[in-house]
Amino acid sequence: MSRKPLIAGNWKMNTSIAEAEHLAQAIVRASADLQNREVMIAPPYISLAAVADILADSEVILAAQNICWAEKGAFTGEISPPMLKDIGCRMAIVGHSERRHLFGENDAMINKRISGAMEHGIIPVFCIGETLAEREADNTMKILEDQVRHGLKDISITDAGSIVIAYEPVWAIGTGKTATTKQVQEVHHFLRNLMERLYEKNIASEIRILYGGSVNATNVDELMAQPDVDGALVGGAALDAGSFERIINFQ
């Protein structure tokens, strides 16, 4: 079993095109000699083309922050898998908590986005996470299991292993409050077992499970040292080249 760690930067609704170019250049320089780990960045849609040019000769993976299930048609405001492939995206974030909570995306929609991405060979970074109220009511594992079961409904065993799951507790996003390493490991272990129940042992041991929620240069090493943590999905700290460089160089 060897799961290559993945450090992913989600830039959310930040950066002008010029700022995105600058940040991408710094990340390309910082990741030039990295071994045994992958780096992904998800700039805003309007910067994808400019960033794709900068990443062209590097190993850094370009990703979109969302993806539509349909190839084309009357879907105002959406971007299709072929469009994202055309511009050079190899991955797409799906089901981010901000999409779920601020824009009303539900499990059924997220499932369609995951299927659409897989059909076109784009790897989804499938985000799940419980709210603070759900955690305090001791419902974390049930909520996560429901999100995984619905999100991966009808996803074949052939596709399941290449999906990336990102566990992002809603209460830890942008709050400076990281889940404890014990909480993170406990959830990741549960998710890996769930993948074994839903698919099979090989899938469970292949699938990469990232943690997201206030990951920074100071806490990344301890998080990455957990046996079931295969990477990080980083928001705020991914916007600062120095911090992100330190994060991709986790020990």
Member of 81, 116, 212, 231 binding ligand 13P (CB under 6 A): 212
Gyration radius of the chain over CA positions: 17
Residue 209 binds ligand 13P (CB under 6 A): no
Task: Tell me if residue 22 is catalytic.
Answer: no
Task: Tell me if residue 120 is catalytic.
Answer: no
Residue 10 binds ligand 13P (CB under 6 A): yes
Binding mask 24-63 for ligand 13P (x = CB under 6 A): ----------------------------------------
Member of 41, 68, 94, 215 binding ligand 13P (CB under 6 A): 215
The window from 28-36, 108-116, 133-141, 208-216 that contacts ligand 13P (CB under 6 A) reads: 208-216
Residue 233 binds ligand 13P (CB under 6 A): yes
CB of 154 to ligand 13P, least distance (A): 25
Residue 174 binds ligand 13P (CB under 6 A): yes
Residues with catalytic annotation?
A: 96, 168
Q: Which chain residues interact with ligand 13P by CB under 6 A?
A: 10, 96, 168, 173-174, 212-215, 233-237
